Amino acid sequence: MRPDLVRGNLDLLVLAVLARRPAHGYAVIEALRERSGGQLDLPEGTVYPALHRLEAAGHLASEESVVDGRRRRTYAVTRDGLAVIDARKDEWRRFARVVELVTGGTA
Amino acid sequence: MTTPRTIAGYLDALLFELRTRDPGVARRVLGEAEDHLREAVAARLAAGEPPDIAEEAAIAAFGEPHALARAYPAAVVTPEPEPVPLAALARQFTLFAGLVLTTVGISGLLLLAMGEVGGTGFAVSQPVVNVTAYCMSHDPAPVGVAGETGVRPECLPLDLDRLTRTDRQHALLEAVTLRVGLGLAGIACFAILRLYPHWGRSAPAGLALAAPFAAAAVALPLVGASFYLGMDRDAKSVDGAGWYYSAGIASLLLLVAAAARIARSVRAGRTTNPTA
């Protein structure tokens, strides 16, 4: 899958992963890989700017803990973030439908 | 740029790439990157990869340091407003005092000249004198017949014209002495600024330095005008007019000097020290 397509929707993907359960960055990437069947292949570091951006926007909250002697930051979706997920999902469905219509698909 | 092959090397490179970012953001990104890389290496080791291959692969999967750093906007560095040092304020005060006092000194010289040209009556109005008190108590070294009673010679016989003339001369002398003395103090202020040219120069410059010039130039003519036009009707007459003219002319000189100086600064498009 083209990286620019993934990057353009990374915020929604990250929010959707974290809506299931709070996780740290590495676990988010693992979940993205698993749930996409390995199709989401982008530099793993790119998820961190997305996490920080979403937290700054109030869609995520984070807290730091110490795991195996290392500091680890765990992220969770806020109520605001849940609302954003719903809105973005609607947007995505409409967009996908439009793309299908224009390109002659059957959706 | 070559991607570092160890986690430590990668973190060093990332730290370098984040050097223009907010320190808090940089610290957080570094911490999370290290946690991520160590966990990724551990997972690869657990999957049976050799340690060196596992570390390189984890780093490669994480992405280039500069690409990660580029995702964070550079910190906007807002310089702290530099506080005005006490020395700079003292310099401004000295400059202002020098301007004002020197102007007063010039007015003293003008007053002296007016006294010479127009007479003491033009330079100084008649001071209000209690004749009895003046004649009986002012001179501790009596002469002549009056010597035994302590009466001043100009009071015997009572010569009001002579007494008035003497009073005016005394008043003129006092005024000139006072004004010139203050002028010397003003010159001393400028001497201090000349002796210590770098003292207090670090903060305000340019038109800020012209401010004392402008303030004095506005204030002194107003003072002069208030003397001449304002309260005392006698001041408009010839009697004692020089007292006010001298102050007004000196103020006007300062006003012209200040206007020329500020205009030159504006024309040059730069800021300079008016005393330079």
Q: Is A69 near chain B, with CB under 8 Å?
A: no
Range of the domain at A33: 3-102
A45 vs B67: CB contact, 8 Å cut-off? yes
Q: What's the burial of A59, exposed, middle or buried (CB within 10 Å: 0-12/13-18/19+)?
A: buried
- d(CA B95, CA B213) in angstroms, rounded, equals 8
- Mean local confidence (pLDDT), B179-195: 86
pLDDT digits (tens, 9 = 90+) for A3-44: 677 777 889 999 999 999 999 999 999 999 888 888 887 789
- Spell out which residues of chain A touch residue B64, defining contact as CB-CB under 8 Å: 43
Interface test with B, best of A10, A40, A48, A62 (most B CBs within 10 A): A48
Q: Is B182 near chain A, with CB under 8 Å?
A: no
Residue A49: closest C-alpha in chain B: B71
User: Which CATH number is A42's domain given?
Assistant: 1.10.10.10
- Mean local confidence (pLDDT), B244-272: 70
Q: Where are the beta strands (DSSP E) in chain B?
A: none
* Confidence (pLDDT) at A77: 96
- Mean local confidence (pLDDT), B123-151: 57
Q: What's the burial of A60, exposed, middle or buried (CB within 10 Å: 0-12/13-18/19+)?
A: buried
Q: Is B34 near chain A, with CB under 8 Å?
A: yes
Q: Is A33 near chain B, with CB under 8 Å?
A: no
* Confidence (pLDDT) at B44: 94
* Confidence (pLDDT) at B80: 61
- Residue A55 in domain: yes
Q: Is B159 near chain A, with CB under 8 Å?
A: no
Q: What's the burial of B101, exposed, middle or buried (CB within 10 Å: 0-12/13-18/19+)?
A: buried
> What residue segments make up the domains of chain B, in order of their start?
7-70, 86-269
* Confidence (pLDDT) at B235: 45
First to last CA, chain A: 20
- Residue A93 in domain: yes
Q: Would you say residue B267 has pLDDT above 70?
A: no
A52: distance to nearest CA of chain B, Å? 9
Any idea which residue has 């040059």 for tokens? B268
Residues B20-29 as b or e (16 or more Cβ within 10 Å = b): ebeeebbebb
B206: distance to nearest CA of chain A, Å? 43
Q: Would you say residue B144 has pLDDT above 50?
A: no
Winning range, highest mean pLDDT, from A87-101, B143-157, B163-177: A87-101
The encoded tokens of residue B186 equal 């003003």
Mean pLDDT of chain B: 75
- Range of lowest pLDDT (B7-11, B36-40, B119-123, B124-128): B124-128
- pLDDT-based confidence at residue B134 (cuts at 50, 70, 90): low
pLDDT digits (tens, 9 = 90+) for A31-83: 998 888 888 877 899 899 999 999 999 999 999 998 888 889 999 999 999 99
- Spell out which residues of chain B touch residue A71, defining contact as CB-CB under 8 Å: 31, 35
Residue A73's φ and ψ, nearest 5 degrees, are -105, 125
A74 touches A63 (CB < 8 A) = yes
- Residue A90 in domain: yes
Q: Would you say residue B266 has pLDDT above 70?
A: no
Whether the model clears a pTM of 0.80, i.e. scores above it, the answer is no
B35 vs A70: CB contact, 8 Å cut-off? yes
Q: Would you say residue B185 has pLDDT above 80?
A: yes
Q: Is B22 near chain A, with CB under 8 Å?
A: no
B98 touches B190 (CB < 8 A) = yes
* Confidence (pLDDT) at B3: 74
Q: Would you say residue B209 has pLDDT above 60?
A: no
* CB atoms inside a 10 Å sphere around CB B210: 22
Handedness of CA B46, B49, B53, B58 (dihedral sign): negative
Any idea which residue has 């006010």 for tokens? B244
Higher pLDDT, B134 or A96: A96
A49 vs B35: CB contact, 8 Å cut-off? no
Q: Is B62 near chain A, with CB under 8 Å?
A: yes
- Residue A107 in domain: no
B144 touches B126 (CB < 8 A) = no
What ipTM was estimated for this complex?
0.86
Share of chain B above pLDDT 90, in %: 19
- d(CA B116, CA A19) in angstroms, rounded, equals 99
Those residues with Cβ within 8 angstroms of residue B232's Cβ, 6 or more apart along the chain or in another chain:
none
Q: Which of B38, B39, B62 is closest, CB to CB, to A43? A: B62
- Residue A33 in domain: yes
Question: What is the number of structural domains in chain A?
Answer: 1
The encoded tokens of residue A42 equal 């982008």
CA angle B50, B34, A11 (to 5 degrees): 110
- Mean local confidence (pLDDT), B76-84: 62
- Range of lowest pLDDT (A47-56, B55-64, B245-254): B245-254
